[in-house]
């Protein structure tokens, strides 16, 4: 028998006996290594019961670990594995027929691999029979065939078969070996152990030829990505768990293994795509003109873009120009986080998208996604009404309480007169806000004796660009609060209340999490419950959410508020401003899901100037020091959320090795005590 006859029998025969035939004399039987060009069928021959199901056929559910107490469920698991072995044999036979002039050692390697795959299939069949499940009892998938059969070269074969599907089988066989051993099924566990050990050899065979044929200017990870045809991605080279040692034994480089470990991409579900555009208020101010994002805001966008990962579910995408480092993402993967895919815009050009979730919805963000028209499943590229980004709209729509007579001025003289009149009657400062601005920026405080020349210049400039200013009294705040909303087609939904921290100028610093009011006095706790602050906050937020809904807005929103002192009494200002976008409060709400009940935590944003105040020369030095002093402690995820629980320590939530202007750091437990004692007094 020559190789061509052997391959055609496996590929074309409709009987399993033919597909499992191997000459008794072994590899020495194949004296005719080279073959002629053969006729190749569109699909392999199969017994009727093993015909590949179409996409319209009902899919058999893969049994869960809990269901493996049933012998039938165990048989169905092995039925899936046996079909994978059958597909592998057929595709290997196809490669022999497609590439008759390939290197003889390469071809004989395929023949040897087929022999081992045939044995795997026999072992699975016998064990399935023991369970009372016959091969063909459930419909079988042809996904492997669809993914590999159009291969155009031996390099395609080793990339798709050896480096992808056989590599993933290391994880699957090792995982199910352990699972069957745990339930006392040692015979099946031994079969899977043999499959695992031989799959390492199959991967090693592929790695050898892949490295021989790849572009020498690329490392193995770069070449692997380049040679995989979309929609196949490196995600298909991973199974359940991650067998680092098996990959190392097979000859994959440490870099390849590290990159694959953190790699994430949807295996079929169109992703939700998140992207960070922190200048959305300014984009709304200049909707009809070219708007250049200031360099300082560009640095913030670079540093904090990856924070969107805390909003994602598995298989989603976060747009970043620079993906966080392998070391940073490995930390999260080790802890048990479901990482999203990080990609820049050009990497998404062929993708179908479930929907886009920008930080803020503006005409600028719409332009970024217009090229995806026809490939977006859910959203219609809607844009938030521009006026709702303006603090002027919020004041005019929702008014202000008697203690906070917010006044809108449209001329420099009116602003100067309003300031003078207020300071003449009050000891407290007056804050003057631009209608468009976020995180406590784009505002000034006027104090006695009155406005300074530079402040008048700011007023003149801001009125020229924004046409109005809002004047409000500056009060003795006890704490800042925000209510997070989601406005959908069904109306607004309150997600939670967060407690945030600002400096003396009112600029955002961070959030308290977990036991979020732990730092506040007993008086606050008493008044919070006595005056029903939470109820007031939720009622106001619901009112604002309904108005956003009627204005046509759909998406995330935050309503800022604060508790202040009026003499000795505490009061709640249930509405300060509306943020019709994602906010740091929304990220904080997501981070809070991984803080155990009644655990203290604080999430701080530290600037370059801040860390130098504490004698850290750069963000990496800051990270090394804090990580050494307060190592993080993670537990398992809760049934309600996929995030692992963090009981203590420090966790950097953006990559300190890449940050230009800001790092965001979560301090939990004892680390929270340190942050509040040593860091926040200097930040405020």
pLDDT band, very low/low/confident/very high, at 401 (cuts 50, 70, 90): low
| Position 33 confidence tier, pLDDT thresholds 50, 70, 90 | low
Mean pLDDT of the chain: 91
pLDDT band at 40 (very low <50, low <70, confident <90, very high): confident
3-state secondary structure 476-496: EEEEEEEEEEEEECCEEEEEE
| C-alpha 683 chain-centroid distance | 30
Reported as a single tens digit per residue, the pLDDT across 126-168 is: 999 999 999 999 999 999 999 999 999 999 999 999 999 999 9
pLDDT at 84: 96
Residue pair 278/305 in contact by the 8 Å Cβ criterion: no
Q: What is the pLDDT of residue 437?
A: 78
Three-class SS state of 642: coil
Question: Taking 80 as the threshold, does the pLDDT of residue 639 lie above it?
Answer: no
Bridge pairing between strands 600-607 and 508-514: antiparallel
Of 67, 8, 14, nearest to 40 (Cα)? 8
pLDDT of 626 > 60? The answer is yes
> What is the arithmetic mean of pLDDT over 596-611?
93
Q: Which of 260, 359, 268, 230 is nearest to 307 (CA)?
A: 359
Lowest mean pLDDT among 125-134, 501-510, 616-625: 501-510
Q: What is the pLDDT of residue 674?
A: 96
Residues 6+ apart with CB under 8 A from 289: none
pLDDT computed for residue 337 by the predictor:
92
Count other C-beta atoms under 10 Å from residue 181's C-beta. Answer: 15
Provide the pLDDT for residue 350. Answer: 84
pLDDT on residue 20: 96
Query: Does 77 score more than 90 pLDDT?
Result: yes
pLDDT confidence of residue 403: 62
Specify whether the CB–CB gap between 338 and 642 falls below 8 A.
yes
Q: What are the distances in angstroms from CA 67 to CA 112, 130, 180, 313?
A: 35, 17, 12, 26
What's the pLDDT at 363?
84
pLDDT mean over 59-64? 87
Q: Tell me the pLDDT band of 35, cut-offs 50, 70 and 90.
A: low
**Could you give the C-alpha distances from 441 to 85, 431, 459, 476, 612, in angstroms and in order?**
62, 12, 14, 19, 22
In angstroms, the CA 684 to CA 675 distance is 12
Report helix, strand or coil for 272: strand
Q: Where is pLDDT greater, at 361 or 557?
A: 557
Distance CA 667, CA 653 (A): 10
DSSP assigned state of 315: T
> Tokens representing 201?
């050899």
* pLDDT in the model for residue 468: 93
How far apart CA 75 and CA 77 sit, in angstroms, is 5
Q: Which residue has the tokens 């572009």?
A: 215
Backbone angles phi, psi at 513, to 5 degrees: -130, 170
Least confident of 10-19, 110-119, 302-311, 403-412: 403-412
**pLDDT at site 36:** 62
Q: What is the reported pLDDT for 583?
A: 96
Q: Length of the chain, please?
A: 684
Mean pLDDT of 550-573: 92
For 184-239, what is each residue's pLDDT tens digit? 999 999 999 999 999 999 999 999 999 999 999 999 999 999 999 988 999 999 99
Question: What's the pLDDT score for residue 53?
Answer: 79
DSSP character string of 143-196: HHHHHHTT--SHHHHIIIIIIIIIHHHHHHHHHHHHHHHHTT-HHHHHHHHHHH
pLDDT in tens, 416-469: 999 999 998 888 889 999 998 776 678 899 998 889 999 999 999 999 989 999
**Domains within the chain, CATH numbers bracketed:** 3-20+70-262 (1.20.1260), 272-379 (no CATH), 405-474 (3.30.1490.20), 475-683 (3.30.470)
pLDDT at 280: 85
Among 29-33, 178-182, 218-222, 666-670, name the one with the lowest average pLDDT: 29-33
Is the predicted pLDDT of residue 26 greater than 80, yes or no? no
- Lowest model confidence (mean pLDDT) among 2-11, 213-222, 252-261: 2-11
pLDDT of residue 37: 65
Q: Beta 355-358 vs 272-275: how paired, if at all?
A: parallel
With 0-12 / 13-18 / 19 or more C-beta atoms within 10 angstroms meaning exposed / middle / buried, residue 62 is exposed
CA distances from 146 to 54, 57, 112, 117, 237 (A): 11, 16, 24, 19, 16
Position of tokens 């906070």? 404
Q: From CA 614, how far away is CA 677, in angstroms rounded?
A: 13
């Amino acid at each position: 028998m020559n190789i061509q006859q052997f391959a055609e029998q496996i590929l074309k025969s409709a009987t399993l006996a033919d597909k499992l035939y191997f000459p008794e004399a072994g590899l020495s039987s194949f004296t005719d290594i080279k073959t002629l060009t053969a006729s190749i069928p569109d699909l392999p021959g199969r017994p009727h019961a093993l015909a590949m199901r179409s996409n319209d056929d009902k899919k058999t559910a893969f049994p869960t670990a809990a269901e493996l107490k049933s012998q039938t469920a165990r048989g169905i698991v092995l039925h899936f594995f046996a079909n994978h072995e059958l597909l592998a044999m057929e595709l290997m036979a196809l490669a022999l027929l497609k590439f008759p002039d390939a290197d003889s050692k390469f071809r004989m390697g395929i023949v040897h691999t087929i022999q081992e795959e045939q044995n795997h299939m026999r072992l699975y069949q016998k064990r399935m029979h023991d369970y009372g499940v016959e091969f063909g009892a459930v419909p079988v998938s042809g996904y492997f065939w669809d993914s590999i059969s159009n291969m155009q070269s031996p390099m395609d074969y080793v990339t798709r078969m050896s480096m992808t599907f056989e590599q993933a089988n290391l994880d699957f066989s090792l995982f199910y070996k352990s699972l069957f051993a745990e339930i006392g099924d040692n015979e099946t566990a031994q079969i899977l152990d043999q499959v695992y050990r031989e799959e390492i050899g199959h991967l090693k065979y592929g790695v050898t030829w892949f490295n021989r044929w790849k572009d020498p200017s690329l490392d193995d990870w770069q070449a692997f990505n380049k040679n995989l045809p979309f929609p196949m991605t490196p995600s298909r080279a991973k199974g359940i768990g991650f067998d680092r040692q098996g990959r190392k034994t097979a000859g994959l480089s440490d870099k390849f293994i590290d990159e694959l470990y953190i790699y994430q991409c949807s295996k079929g579900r169109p992703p939700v795509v998140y992207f960070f555009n922190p200048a959305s208020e300014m984009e709304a101010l200049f909707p009809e003109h070219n708007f250049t994002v200031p360099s300082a805001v560009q640095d913030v966008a670079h540093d904090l873009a990856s924070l969107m990962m805390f909003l994602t579910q598995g298989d989603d995408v976060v747009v970043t120009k620079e993906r966080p480092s392998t070391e940073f993402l490995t930390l999260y993967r080790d802890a048990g986080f479901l990482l999203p895919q990080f990609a820049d815009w050009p990497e998404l050009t062929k993708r179908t998208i479930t929907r886009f979730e920008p930080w803020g919805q503006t005409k600028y963000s719409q332009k970024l996604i217009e090229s995806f028209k026809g490939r977006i499943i859910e959203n219609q590229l809607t844009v938030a009404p521009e006026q709702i980004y303006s603090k002027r709209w919020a004041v005019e729509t929702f008014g202000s309480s008697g203690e906070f007579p917010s006044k809108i001025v449209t001329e420099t003289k009116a602003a100067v007169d309003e300031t003078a009149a207020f300071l003449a009657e009050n000891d407290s400062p007056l804050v003057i806000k631009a209608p468009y601005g976020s995180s406590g920026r784009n505002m000034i405080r006027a104090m006695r004796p009155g406005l300074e020349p530079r402040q008048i210049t700011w007023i003149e400039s801001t009125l020229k660009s924004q046409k109005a200013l809002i004047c409000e009294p500056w009060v003795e705040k006890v704490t800042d609060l925000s209510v997070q909303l989601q406005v959908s087609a069904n109306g607004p939904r309150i997600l939670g209340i967060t407690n945030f921290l600002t400096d003396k100028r009112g600029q955002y610093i961070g959030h308290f999490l977990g036991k979020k009011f732990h730092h506040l006095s007993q008086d606050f706790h008493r008044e919070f419950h006595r005056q029903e602050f939470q109820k007031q906050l939720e009622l106001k937020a619901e009112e604002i959410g309904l108005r956003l809904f009627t204005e046509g807005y759909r998406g995330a929103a935050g309503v800022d508020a604060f508790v202040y002192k009026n003499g000795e009494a505490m009061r709640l200002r249930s509405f300060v401003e509306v943020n019709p976008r994602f906010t740091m409060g929304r990220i904080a709400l997501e981070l809070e899901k991984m803080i155990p009940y009644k655990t203290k935590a604080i999430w701080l944003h530290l600037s370059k100037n801040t860390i130098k105040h504490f004698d850290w020369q750069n963000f990496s030095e800051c990270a090394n020091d804090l990580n050494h002093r307060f190592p993080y402690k993670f537990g398992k995820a809760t049934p309600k959320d996929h995030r692992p629980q963090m009981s203590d320590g420090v966790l950097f939530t953006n990559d300190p090795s890449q940050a230009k202007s800001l790092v965001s750091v979560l301090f939990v437990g004892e680390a929270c005590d340190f942050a509040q004692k040593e860091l926040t007094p200097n930040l405020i």
